[in-house]
Amino acid sequence: MAIERNGNLIIVKEAQYTLTFACESNDMELWGDIAPKAAGKILNNSELLDIIKKLGLRGDIVAEGVKELCIQANSGKQARNIVLMRGKKPSTGLPGKLKFLARPTEKANMPNNNSTAKIFLFDNVSAGSAVARILEPTAGTPGCTVRGEPVPSTEGERIEVQLGDGVRTAREDDPDDMHDCVFASISGRIIYEGNKISIVDSYIIDGNIDTRTGNIDFIGSVEIKGDVTEGFSVKAGKGLKISGNVESSTIISGGNIEIKGGVFGKGLGVIECGGNLEARYLNECKVKCERNVVVKNEILESNIKALGFVDVSNGSILGGEITALGAIEAKLIGSEIGVKTVLSSGKSYVSNDKVHILKDELSDNEKQIAKINSKLDFYVKNPKELNRLRPVDKQNLRELTAEFTRLNIRNREIPKEIQAINEEMVAKANPMISVSRKIHRGVELNLLTEFMRITESEAKNVSYVINSREGGIRAITKLKLTDNARKLERDIPLPVN
């Protein structure tokens, strides 16, 4: 077999044929020509592949081309430009991308949804947390010509991430393995549009909260342009605005709550508010509010607890129990049929809860002290019995004695803690209950530790305050809701009988 090389051509001469190889397409394809001198079994597939291998050519064999060239040669026919082999093409690397560490906001797939409201799914993210990682493009895989020469690969396209509001890149004090991350600078939800990443701390639901939306739990502020229907819950880390009504649902907000309509809780509705609460009415619900409660029309058969004042100055309070650290005011209080209505001003539900916990601890400690004392009393009366105890029993006795001492010390501390809590509550309290039109018979009033039951329904324009001179509760000309009741009461003389 004679071999000649001429540029990109390799010529193989045999007695029965002349075989010409050409490296084409930038050496990425091997073409073959053959000129047989006569028909017959002059070349088979294996022989052709063996020739290619001996020539040092490499790549992916094109089986159909090899077969076609051999058939033509054995038929005594010339064959030209038949592709016998292809080199390995280089692959382009994967493009860079943004890998989210929390689910960004995306529109929910709501089958059979006839509503035009947009409902979104997302993960809450906290300020300081890593929300995404910027991944570099990969280098790809190099290729190879049919001559065995490498073909470099192309790196994937880089992603240009734009940083919007509420995000930042890594800082020096962030972990080394998070240098390629994007961090939230505020708490909220991720927005990713057109390679721009942002964090927003608000979420608007353009409709009702129902089976279509499910429950809402968002770390930022929430606005609902509809109602919250029965059995659902809404939790907002910041403020909450509701354009419609709230049925027997659970509403929780770390900030203010504004309900344009009202709450009809059916005895099951729960509201927990970390700021001020405003509503048109509160019916048959339970409320805990860390600041002020303002109701336009009425509070009906509800349990309201507030660390500020309760203002129903243009409406009525009928039934239920209201406890406020500040003053309570309404136009009408109670009812003609004597529905039980209990108002307590100057009291903190947080302080009361702390006191109850301490009192429970005091009671439990006393039971433990009595139990330990009964065991220790035997050895106090019979000290010689101590010598008969095993070492392990003596150790147990020492531990019981230490626990007995600890519990007694703790029980001397608890009353002081209770006193400090009550003193702090009294210092912040503004005990006053005001009525502008009428308060009905049977209404119970509590101002700090003072108690009074209204015995006769009367038209009133008064404030009930603590009588600083004689004790108990006295009625004076109505004060403003935010007036300092105890200070002003001292300046008002007692009526002359």
Dump the DSSP string for 144-192.
E-TTS-EE---PPPPP-PEE-TTEEE--TTS-GGGTTEEEESSSBEEEE
Q: Kindly report, residue by residue over 238-284, the tens digit of the pLDDT.
A: 999 999 999 999 999 999 999 999 999 999 999 999 999 999 999 99
Q: At what angle do helices 45-54 and 63-74 cross, to 10 degrees?
A: 110
The number of C-alpha atoms within 13 Å of 5 and in the hemisphere containing its C-beta is 5
Q: What angle do CA 489, 481, 458 make, to 5 degrees?
A: 75
How far is CA 253 from its chain centroid? 13
Question: What are the tokens at 97?
Answer: 């991308």
Cβ atoms 44, 67 nearer than 8 A: no
Query: 3-class SS at 223?
Result: strand
Closest CA to 117 of 5, 244, 292: 244
What phi and psi values does residue 363 have, to the nearest 5 degrees?
-65, -45
Exposed, middle or buried: residue 18 (CB in 10 Å: 0-12, 13-18, 19+)?
middle
Query: What does the pLDDT look like over 311-338, one tens digit per residue?
Result: 999 999 999 999 999 999 999 999 988 8
- 436: number of CA atoms within 13 Å, CB side? 13
Residue 108: predicted pLDDT? 64
Overall size of the chain counted in residues: 497
**CA angle 284–286–291, rounded 5-degree value:** 125
Q: Where along the chain do its domains lie?
A: 2-86, 97-200, 202-291, 351-405
Report yes or no: 467 and 484 within 8 Å, Cβ to Cβ. no
User: What's the CA gap between 34 and 11, in Å, rounded?
Assistant: 10
Dist CA 336 CA 310 (whole Å): 22
Q: Among 340, 289, 315, which residue's Cα sits nearest to residue 453?
A: 340
Which residues, given as ranges, of the chain have pLDDT below 50?
111-117
The tokens for 294 are: 């303002």
List the one residue out of 469, 166, 436 whose CA is nearest residue 314.
436
196-200, strands of its sheet edge to edge: 162-163, 196-200, 189-193
The kind and range of the H/E element at 73 are: helix 63-74
Distance between CA atoms of residues 46 and 37, nearest Å: 20
Are 302 and 286 within 8 A, CB to CB? yes
Q: What is the pLDDT of residue 202?
A: 95
Query: Left if phi > 0, otherwise alpha if psi is -120 to 50, otherwise beta: which for 472?
Result: left
